[in-house]
């Protein structure tokens, strides 16, 4: 009796793992295609970073078309928004999570931009400061 229950649970787990593997590989292919599109549209631009904040999408000041394209489950989450002067225009851009902390405020920076998405930092006047990685709660606790 116990073996039958364990066998049924094992079969269910194998089916769940197969489904997750299938959808995971599908999502990975989709992400690779999107990354290739971002790299194809990439441009190096010089801009003055005015301000950077983590804001909700509806409070970010992005165009209405962009806000409408954001999935409903991500509309309440906060995104890294950068207010920058590109040439004569002041624009709100979305920064990549990896480089958001490195962007210096009130400095001129050369960045790689793909549409309204900042993907990389090329250089800055005065150099780019390396931000030390944030320590988690337990690392700070045990470091003391």
Q: Which domains does the chain have, with CATH numbers?
A: 40-124 (2.40.50.660)
Tens-digit pLDDT profile for residues 103-140: 888 989 999 998 889 998 987 776 776 766 677 777 77
Tokens linked to 133: 């990685």
The predicted structure's pLDDT at residue 143: 74
> pTM, whole model, 2 decimals?
0.69
Q: Residue 82 in contact with residue 49, Cβ under 8 Å?
A: yes
CA 77 – CA 62 distance, rounded (Å) = 15
Output the pLDDT for position 131: 65
- 99: nearest Cα among 118, 83, 86: 118
The pLDDT value recorded for residue 66 is 86
Cβ contact 50:90 at 8 Å: yes
Pairing of strands 117-124, 89-95: parallel
pLDDT at 132: 66
Looking at residue 92, its pLDDT comes to 92
Tokens 């928004």 correspond to what residue?
81
pLDDT band at 85 (very low <50, low <70, confident <90, very high): very high
d(CA 10, CA 96): 41
Tokens, residue 115: 């549409």
């Amino acid at each position: 009796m116990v073996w039958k229950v364990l066998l049924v649970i094992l079969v269910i787990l194998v089916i769940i793992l197969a489904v997750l593997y299938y959808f995971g590989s599908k999502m990975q292919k989709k992400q690779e295609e999107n990354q290739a599109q971002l790299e194809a549209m990439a441009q190096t631009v010089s801009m003055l970073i005015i301000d950077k904040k983590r804001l909700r999408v509806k409070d970010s000041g992005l165009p209405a078309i962009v806000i409408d394209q954001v999935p409903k489950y991500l509309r309440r989450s906060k995104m890294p928004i950068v207010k920058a002067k590109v040439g004569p225009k002041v624009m709100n851009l979305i920064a990549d999570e990896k480089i958001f902390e490195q962007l210096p405020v009130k400095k001129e920076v050369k960045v790689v931009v793909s549409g309204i998405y900042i993907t990389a930092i090329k250089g800055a006047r005065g150099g780019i400061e390396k931000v030390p990685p944030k320590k988690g709660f337990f690392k700070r606790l045990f470091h003391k």
